Structure 1
Amino acid sequence: MKFLKVAFKDLKIEFRTKNTINFMFLFALLSIMLFSATMENPDPAILWLVFIFAGMLGYSRAFLKEVETGTLEALKISPLPPTSILFGKIVFNGVLMLMIQALLIPIFIAVFGIYPENLFLAVVSITLGNLAFVVISSSLSLLVIKSRARELLLPVLLFPVLFPVVLSTVQAFTMAVNGNVEGISAPLSVIIAFTMAMIGVGYLTVDYALVE
C-alpha cells in the first residue's frame, strides 16, 4: 500500500492549492453551460466528453509537474518502488475525477433533464471509463516524462490510444441512459481490456522511465 503515500502527498498539495481541480471544474462547468445554450436536444454522451477533456487538462500534469518542481528526483531516491509512484498517480487522478463528477453530474441532470433509465449500468460505465482514462493518461505521462517535447508529445500519443475507450464508454453510457442495455457488455469489455493492457504497459515501463 505504499502507493497511497504518493497519492496522499499529491492530494494534500492539491487540497492546499486547488489549482488543478478548480481549473478542471470551471472548464467542465463552462462546457456544460455552453452545450445547454446551443443544443435543443442534448445527447447524454456530452457528459462523458466533457469529463474527458476536463480530465486531459488535469491528468497531463500528473508527472510533468513533478519534473518542473524537481520533486521527481526526490521520488526517485526515496525508498518507494517505481510502481508505487505510478499507481499513486493513478489513484490521485482518479480521486480528482470522482470529485469533479460528484459536483457536475447533479448540475448536468438539472440543466439537461437527462436521468439514466438504468442507473446501475450508467454508474458502471462511468466508473470503468474513469479507471481506463486515468490508467492510460498516467501511463502515457510516464512514458514521455524524459522527452524534451513531453508537453506536446503526450496529447499526440493520448488521443489515438484513448479513442477506443472514449467511444466504448460513450456507447455504454448512452445505452444505460436510454435503457437499451442489450449488448452493453461489448463496449464494457473493450474498456476493461484496454485498462488491463495499459496497466501492464505502465508496470513494465515504470522502471525504465523513472530509474536512469
Structure 2
Amino acid sequence: MTDVTATVEQLLAAYWLQDDPKILDERRGIECLRQFAEGKRLLVFDAVLQQAVHHLNSGLAKGDVGQWIVLVCFWGHPHAIWDFMLDALSVAENDEHLVKIATGLAEHILAHYGSMMPHFEARARTDCRFKRMLTGVWRHRMSDDVWMRLRAMQAEVPDPLSTMIPLEHGVEYMAHSLSREDRVNEDKSRCRYRRDAEGNWRKVR
C-alpha cells in the first residue's frame, strides 16, 4: 500500500483487516490510528482520524473495530454495507484479507439481502479481484437461487481462494440447516431493511 489518501471507511477497513486490531479508547485512539496509518502509508487528515475514533467509541462498539463491523452488518443499510465492502477491498493486501472480507461482509449481504445479487454479478464481470474474493464466501443463510448464482461465478475463477467450498457441493449444500423461508426468500424477514412494493429499501425496525 503506497501513499493513499484514505477515507474514514478505508481507514477503518484497513484497521479491521490487520491480524489483531487493538481496542481503541477515545483518549489514545487518534494517535494509535495515526501510527497505524503511517505504517500502512495511508494519508489521513485529522478530521478522518477523529471521525474514525468517534465511530469506534459510539454505541455498542466500545472501541472494538470487530464489534463495529458486526453493528454495521446488522444495522446498516444494505448499500452502506456494500460500499464498505468495496472500501475494504480497496485496501486489502493479501488472500487472508480477501477471505476476511468474503466471510465478514460479502457473505452477510448475500445471506440476508440476497436481492443485492445483481450488484455482485455486475461487479464481478469487470473486477477480477472482487470475483476472486467471492470464492471465499460460504453459504450461511443464502436462498437456493442466490447460492447457485454465486456458485456459477465461483466456477469461473481459475485461481480461487483456498477456503472455497468445492464446486461439487451444489444446491443441497447446508440445506438441512436452513428453514424453508431461508431457502426460498432472498431477503430475510428478520432483517432491519426490507424492499417495498417499488423495490426500495425501507427500515422496518
The structure carrying a bigger strand percent of its residues is 2
The structure carrying a bigger helix percent of its residues is 1
| Larger RCO of the pair (alpha carbons < 8 Å, separation 6+) | 1
Structures share fold, TM-score greater than 0.5 = no
User: What TM-score does the superposition give when structure 2 sets the normalisation length?
Assistant: 0.32
